[in-house]
Amino acid sequence: MTKPIIGVMPLWDDDKESIWMLPGYFDGLIRAGGTPVMFPFLSDKDEIFRLMDICDGILFTGGHDVSPAIYGEEPMKCVSSCKMRDDMEGIVLEKVIETNKPLLGICRGIQFINAYLGGTLYQDIKTQYPSDTEHHQEAPYDVPVHAVDIEEDSPLYGCLKSRRIEVNSYHHQAVKDLAPGLKVMARSEDGLTEGLYMPGHPFLWAIQWHPEFSFSKDDNSLKIFSSFIEAAG
């Protein structure tokens, strides 16, 4: 059986001026039955679309902060964004919606999808949404640090068959106002949006936690990757 090809958005290292990739993204997709390929940074729409044409699904990875300019705000001092990534992922997201290509967003992925489609973000949780819930854990990153509650009418509940799960957490930005056309499918114990999806799209899911760190020991993390690969198959 032919394995679905998954286009993976690259990570960018400012200091080394190079693209790179956390192996967990690739390993999780491979374990779930996919074949991952990393995109280069491109600005030409036709080139991006040619790459997307060979892909059965798209993964939005974690990484840089989403630029507040996307949702009409000035950046706080702690924000570090990557314009070439924001620009390319905007092009990819629009095409994903137009063509109904499956997409899974992780961490930055949920933030970018929400911001680009008209929502807003907390630029810094510690400053703008203080709570006792741990959202920026220290290593090891495969250890769960807080719970999320899953909406029973959401596709995530259909995947996991659980109302509450424990997750890892490593982020300092988060969804604030939900974008039009999206629905929440999970919330953290302190009320932040931790999962969303686009009703009417075959598979456009995004989560705030990191299954790429935990899929080898956490069944729920692997189930998320597997549902994505099944949609792309």
Q: Catalytic amino acids?
A: 107, 210, 212
Residues 71 and 112 sit within 8 Å (Cβ to Cβ) = no
The answer regarding whether domain 5-232 maps to CATH 2.60.120.560 reads no
- Name the band, by pLDDT with cuts 50, 70 and 90, for residue 146: very high
Rounded to an integer, the average pLDDT of 179-202 is 98
CB atoms under 10 Å from CB of 97, counted, come to 17
Residues with Cβ within 8 Å of residue 195, at least 6 apart in sequence? 110, 148, 150, 154, 156, 184, 185, 186, 187, 205, 206, 207, 208
Residue 120 and residue 18: Cα distance in Å, rounded?
29
Residue 20 pLDDT greater than 90, yes or no: yes
* Each residue's pLDDT tens digit, 66-91: 999 999 999 999 999 999 999 999 99
Residue 152 pLDDT greater than 90, yes or no: yes
Rounded to an integer, the average pLDDT of 17-26 is 97
Q: Residue 47 has what pLDDT?
A: 98
Cis peptide before 4 (omega within 30 of 0): no
Residue 1 pLDDT greater than 80, yes or no: no
Residue 151 pLDDT greater than 90, yes or no: yes
Domain spans of the chain?
5-232
Tell me the C-alpha to C-alpha distance, in Å, between residue 205 and each of 9, 105, 182, 212. Answer: 15, 6, 10, 15
Joined together, the tokens standing for residue 123 give 């630029």
Q: Residue 12 has what pLDDT?
A: 97
Residues 89 and 8 sit within 8 Å (Cβ to Cβ) = no
Torsion angle of C-alpha atoms 95, 51, 56, 26, degrees rounded to 10: -120
* Each residue's pLDDT tens digit, 101-138: 999 999 999 999 999 999 999 999 999 999 999 999 99
- Percent of the chain exceeding pLDDT 90 equals 100
Residue 181 pLDDT greater than 80, yes or no: yes
**pTM for the model:** 0.98
Task: Report DSSP state, residue 81.
Answer: B
